[in-house]
Amino acid sequence: MSDYFHSVTLDYDKCKGCTNCIKHCPVEAIRVHEGKAKIIQERCIDCGECIRACPNHAKVAVTDSLDKFSHFKYKIALPAPSFFGQFSDEINIEDILGAFLRIGFDDVYEVALAAEIVTHIVHQYLADRKYKKPLFSSACPAVLRLMQIKFPDLLNQVVPVMAPIDVAAYCAKEEAMKKTGLPYEEIGAFFISPCPAKATVVKHPLTDRISPVDGVIGVSLIYKDILKHITKDKAKEKTGPSLHKARSVGMAWGYVTGESKSVDFGTGLAVSGIHNVISLLEEIERGELKDVDFMELQACIGGCVGGPLNIQNLFVGRVKLRQMVKKYSSTTPYFQNNQLQELYEGGQFELTEPIQPRPIMVLDKDMSKALIKMERLDEITKDLPGLDCGACGSPSCHALAEDIVRGFAFDTDCVIKLRGKIKILAEELLDLAQKLPSSMSDDPAKKVSPP
């Protein structure tokens, strides 16, 4: 496996080399060179903005295929809370979950159920511990990746609790081990994901801990299959305990505000959209909002329902999910409060390993050399037209200057600079042409006969 795996990749044939994506990337991780977009691997945070921006659908999120199944004796599907917003509200959650069993999974465990555990742990953490405010949610991996490269200083304010997806995988596997007697390794947990960033963190975890999730399957990949296997035929329905256990507290994690409202401690704030998250984090880094207790930050507008791998339009999905959340708000919860408290006190879902910064923006390891490069960067930027047209393949004139200093580009990549140079060249050519020796000139007037 290469140093950087990314779920978000380019479909080379579909890319027309337009520059829509480079402008939307919040971390300036895309360049267009030789007519094709290129993602700078170490910068990409898998937020999926480019997937949304690409008019040619050339940006795709690679997730695992169902072939990965064969490695495991017992396979469990872990559908994301937002998954249920992808269906018409006439369909019961129980039937959707049943469809997973019909397409070959041995069991299904709702991530929303794990979100209930996380909700309790985070709430207790906020209530019991002393911490620097605000504390950030650890649920959105694209936001955490963003913090690693742009806001390393804020990483120690991430609540040290696992994301629901990991908690779900641990819980599901533990239950399965009890039920089947199989060892841990033979049980596979597959996240049904709206999100490319999740696919990336499973392969490259944010901390040293290996992810308990064995595979990530994009919602778009499995959706049709699930739809086909939803049966409304009551007679065919599997009897036994119901598969659907999650309640509104966890289900609401599928859209922005759900998490912070569920955690329900002190002052909460929910922000979605990676560009909004960046401007908020800049304020916080300067010391704003010190009195907010908990912040839910989501890279996708609208939260996970807005994930690039979902099928439904974000707002349609959100409405449907909200209706479901409402429907299950009065049902008795699956977990007793003392069970949840035990899980909090047990500490097994605490994030013990810190999330490390990844300072990849540095121009040079040697500060003096970096300073010299930056001086040059400044000069080049001043010399560029400042139109930020993107025609050079870099997102802005400043980014092009940076690329030149780093040795990835030339100033003639700028069409306006190039035009200027051609103009000078043309003038010089003309000049030269006029200096042709008279013996070679075809202008008879110039053919001055010797006296």
Partner 1 sequence: MSEMNETENIHKPRLTMHFKVEEEDFIIAGEAASKTKKALQQLGLKQEIVKNIAIIVYEAAMNIVIHANYGEVQVIIVPAYVTVIAQDKGGGIPDVDLAMQEGYSTAPIEAQEMGFGAGMGLPNMKKCSDIMHIETQVGVGTTLKATIYLHQSDAKQVETGAMYV
Q: Which residues bind partner 1 (CB under 8 A)?
A: 150, 152-153, 282-283, 285-287, 357, 359, 361-365, 367-368, 370-372, 374-375, 378
Q: How far is the CB of 375 from partner 1 (least distance, A)?
A: 5
Return the number of the residue (333 or 357) whose C-beta is nearest partner 1.
357
Cβ closest to partner 1, residue 50 vs residue 149 = 149
Could you tell me the smallest distance in angstroms from the CB atom of residue 361 to partner 1? Answer: 5
- Which residue's CB is nearer to partner 1, number 44 or number 256? 44
Tell which residue, 167, 173, 166, 164, has the closest CA to residue 107. 173
Closest to partner 1 by CB, 283 or 342: 283
- The amino acid at 171: C
Rounded to a whole number of angstroms, the minimum distance from the CB of residue 134 to partner 1 is 16
Region at 28 (left for phi over 0; alpha for psi -120 to 50; beta for the rest): left
Which of residues 237 and 283 has its CB atom nearest to partner 1 in the complex?
Answer: 283
Give least dist CB 380 to partner 1, A.
Answer: 14
Residue count (the chain): 451
Smaller CB separation from partner 1, 365 or 435: 365
Cβ–Cβ < 8 Å for 392, 405: no
Q: Rank residues 157 and 257 by Cβ distance to partner 1 and give the closer one.
A: 157
The span from the CA of 124 to the CA of 344, in Å, is: 7
Smallest gap from residue 365 Cβ to partner 1 (A): 7
Among residues 286 and 435, whose Cβ is nearest to partner 1? 286
Q: Read off φ and ψ for residue 297, nearest 5 degrees.
A: -120, 125
Give the chain's largest Cα–Cα span.
118
In the complex, minimum distance from the CB of residue 279 to partner 1, in angstroms, rounded to a whole number: 9
Task: Provide, rounded to whole angstroms, the least separation between the CB of residue 287 and partner 1.
Answer: 7
Do 114 and 164 touch, CB atoms closer than 8 A?
A: yes
| Identity of the residue, 362 or 445, whose beta carbon is nearer to partner 1 in the bound complex | 362
Which residues make Cβ contacts (< 8 Å) with residue 132, sequence separation at least 6? 156, 157
d(CA 46, CA 274): 11
Give the whole-angstrom CA distance, residue 115 versus residue 252. Answer: 9
Q: Which amino acid is it at 181?
A: G
| Rg, Å, the chain Cα set | 28
With H, G, I as helix, E, B as strand and everything else as coil, classify residue 122.
helix
Which of 362/432 has CB closer to partner 1?
362
**Could you please report the per-residue DSSP string of 319-387?**
HHHHHHHHHTSSSPPSS-HHHHHHHHHH-TTB--SPPPP-----S-SSHHHHHHHHHHHHHHHHHS---
How crowded is residue 49: how many other Cβ atoms within 10 Å of its Cβ? 27
**Least distance (Å) between residue 140 CB and partner 1:** 22
User: What minimum distance in Å lies between the beta carbon of 274 and partner 1?
Assistant: 16
How many helices (H) and strands (E) the chain has is answered by: 16, 11
Q: In the complex, what is the shortest distance from the CB of residue 271 to partner 1, in angstroms, rounded to a whole number?
A: 17
The β-bridge relationship of strands 30-33 and 36-39 is antiparallel
Report which of 356, 351, 354 is spatially closest to residue 170, judged by C-alpha positions: 351
